Amino acid sequence: MRLFSTPAAAIAAGCLLLCGGGAAAQAQTSTRATLDIDGGTLAYETCGVGPKAIVLLHDGILHSAAFDDVWPILCQRFRVVRYDRRGYGASSPAPAAYAPAKDLEALMKAVGLEHATFVGSSSGSGIAVDYALAHPEAVDRLVLVGPWVSGFDVSLGFIARSLNLVAKVKMGDLDGAVRDPYILTKTADAERARVVAWLKANPGNLGAGARERPLAVAKPRLGEIQAPTLVLVGEVDIKDVQEQAKALETLMPHARRMVVPASGHLMYVERPATFAEIVRAFVEEQP
């Protein structure tokens, strides 16, 4: 989800929770670093030593901190990488238009990963798809969360809603913007407050996606992706995202869709244990 961008973008159980000392110990082994790229830096973090790897790709308004509650859970079982795209969080802004999938390629080399499962949220799912089309051999699996992939049309209702969100942000009404009914469920007050706090601490996030460009229009090429794909959509997410999730399930040869109950667009913020278990089960699933 993006609040500022080009029209297509800005309109753009008890499960695994061993979350006591084990999770805390694993979290302490996380390593933060930066990658020099085009005169700027990408901030990234790695953790875990499992035989399988996961790369987390954030959405278009938050940075990698959005995965804070999922991170220690996944780090117990997998090698995990997360990073801030240009202009988000601790990464420097892009000086000009660029392709985020090329940055992802550079990051994969920097951390020494030849292949991984890519978990992309919203606009991050579009980057995961771009990378899969450019580097099919490097993609074990895809998890596309509240997907937003290039080539799909948007409804007039979605455009109106996006313009309303932009107006609220420009007026400084972040709380009002985050009260959008599709981002989180109505009762997720604590999670909503966290999102507002993240945005206030990282104002550069809003509009950082404006210079992002896909490598190619993805929709006509979705049939080329052979990696097993799980498409996750929150129960209350907006209709455009729901419809795109259904289309991906149809257009991608090995995709299946799951509606996550009692969750919105940012399901990993609202239901981290459930989200982590879904990802864990999919990554460890036998072919």
Please report, for the chain, the start and end positions of each structural domain, with discontinuous segments joined by +. Answer: 7-284
pLDDT of residue 3: 37
pLDDT of residue 79: 97
H-state helical runs in the chain = 7-10, 21-28, 71-74, 100-111, 123-134, 156-170, 174-178, 189-201, 239-251, 267-270, 272-284
DSSP label of 92:
P
Written as six digits, the tokens of 212 are 């992002």
Written as six digits, the tokens of 185 are 């469920």
CATH 3.40.50.11720 fits domain 7-284: no
Which residues of the chain are modeled with pLDDT < 70? 1-28
Q: Are 285 and 256 spatial neighbours (Cβ–Cβ below 8 Å)?
A: no
pLDDT of residue 20: 32
pLDDT of residue 132: 98
What number of residues does the chain have? 287
pLDDT of residue 13: 28
- Nearest to residue 214, comparing CAs of 7, 2, 3, 9? 9
